[in-house]
Amino acid sequence: MILIADFEGGDASFKHVDAEHIMNGLEVSFTLDGTALPTTRTAIKRFLNPEQFGLEAAYYFQQGQIMSPADLSIGSHRLEVTMLDASSQQSSQDGITFVIDPWYRSMRLKPERPDPPTRITNGMGADSCTDRRVLALRAGPTSVTARDRL
């Protein structure tokens, strides 16, 4: 799964319409190995734990694509995400290089072991995560970028 989530919020007076005004102006785009990746965006929803980001009220949307293991070949891949606001003056970019190694493909052929996780490495041989998720979080005027390391 390739996913980004945008969070917008503030004090208790921050309402859904405020989040819509900000979020509807955001353009999110992904590229995978230099090719534009089509994605789907969820509806804007209330975030139930705004205190986690120091907010009293917050809303979010998620945008991304679910991919099957067959969608990515064995080897190195580059995923990049760009977020551009409605004024086209403020943008955020992030990326990650990851490797799908042959270990995963060979395990998929053995039915006695159900769906092992995709092993992704950071390109230097060390495991960086076991899932294909990159998560970028924005909380109000400050942008926070984090990689989901589940």
pLDDT tens per residue, range 12-39:
999 999 999 999 999 999 999 999 999 9
- 72 within domain boundaries: yes
- 42 or 111: whose pLDDT is higher? 42
More confident residue, 80 or 145: 80
Residue 119 covered by a domain: no
113-129: average pLDDT? 44
> How large is the average pLDDT for residues 109-132?
43
State pTM to two decimals. 0.65
d(CA 142, CA 131): 27
Given a cut of 70, whether residue 73 has pLDDT beyond it is yes
Q: 14 lies in which domain range?
A: 2-97+130-146
Domain count, the chain: 1
Beta bridge mates, 143: 138
